[in-house]
Structure 1
Amino acid sequence: MTKIVKLEPIAQETVVKTNDNLLYGVLTNELNILPECSGRGMCSTCHVYIKSGMESLSPLNRREKRTLEAIATAQPNSRLACQARVIGDGVVVEIPAGMHINAIKDIETLIGRRAEQDILHPLEGKILVEAGKLITRSMISQLKDTRTSVEAYLARTREA
């Protein structure tokens, strides 16, 4: 059996099999979400807001609660798409604006340009560079350091 999930603000709908997670539906629509922790609920790259239909999703588990507590932009209607399983109809998901630092292939190319959208920390979800801000060489160094530490953290969690 399948459920229709609406994706906002892009006004798209996607089909998700009953008891599959939201991440599947989001990834099939090629949206700006990275499953950095391989769907284990340990990063914020699949953080979404549930506009309606929270009761049509599986309850939060302990790992998801801990991860959401670390996300700076989390709200009471926040979920991790990798952990939220669709069990009923009427789910409307809002994809947060912004791009995670790990999605940027060559950070050096950003020097001297303005950020087209917020650049986000992949574990905490906090804004590292606001949209419209000029990206300086010192910002690039901080972004590289952040990316390196996040990659090291995620590598350790994959081994555990």
Structure 2
Amino acid sequence: MTQVIVLPHIELCPDGAVIDARQGESLCQNLLENGIAIEHACEMSCACTTCHVIVREGFADLDPSDEVEDDLLDKAWGLEPNSRLSCQVIVNTALLVIEIPRYSINMTKEGHR
């Protein structure tokens, strides 16, 4: 198991959280399995930006993002150089400290096309 520290988020985990994440599984799936209801409008198919996270620690230890993820991230609210889509981050052995942005853009729910 790999430790993931989730920084406080006003709605999803006001006190923050420390979870034991399963290696080889996506960060998004691990968050959901541990009671952190991160939005994932595309059901983790890398087709939206609702599961956007900012990796505050452990970013360099992750497999790099691909072109599809990078293109989607360009549309994410609050994009930072160490932003990732949690559905595309596969947990490995490295400790991760993540921040879930306060807002996400859900094109379907918000009426965009």
Paired residues for 1:2-151 under 5 Å: 2-9=1-8, 10-98=15-103, 120-123=104-107, 147=109, 149-150=111-112
| Deviating 4+ runs (over 4 angstroms) | none
Q: Secondary structure at the match of 1:66?
A: helix
- TM-score normalized by the length of structure 1: 0.59
Letter in 2 for 1:44: T
Aligned length: 107
2:26 and 2:89 in contact (8 A); partners too: yes
Query: What are structure 2's unaligned runs of at least 5 residues?
Result: 9-14
Q: Which has the higher contact order (CA 8 A, sep 6+)?
A: 2
> CA–CA distance in 2 between the matches of 1:39 and 1:47?
11
Q: Note the C-alpha offset of 1:32.
A: 4.3
Q: Which one has the bigger helix percentage?
A: 1
The unaligned stretches of length 5 or more in structure 1 are 99-119, 124-145, 154-160
RMSD: 2.0
TM-score, normalized by length of structure 2?
0.81
Report percent identity of matched pairs.
28
Q: Equivalents in 2 of 1:17, 1:29: separation in Å?
A: 11
Larger radius of gyration: 1
Q: C-alpha distance in 2, partners of 1:72/1:35? A: 15
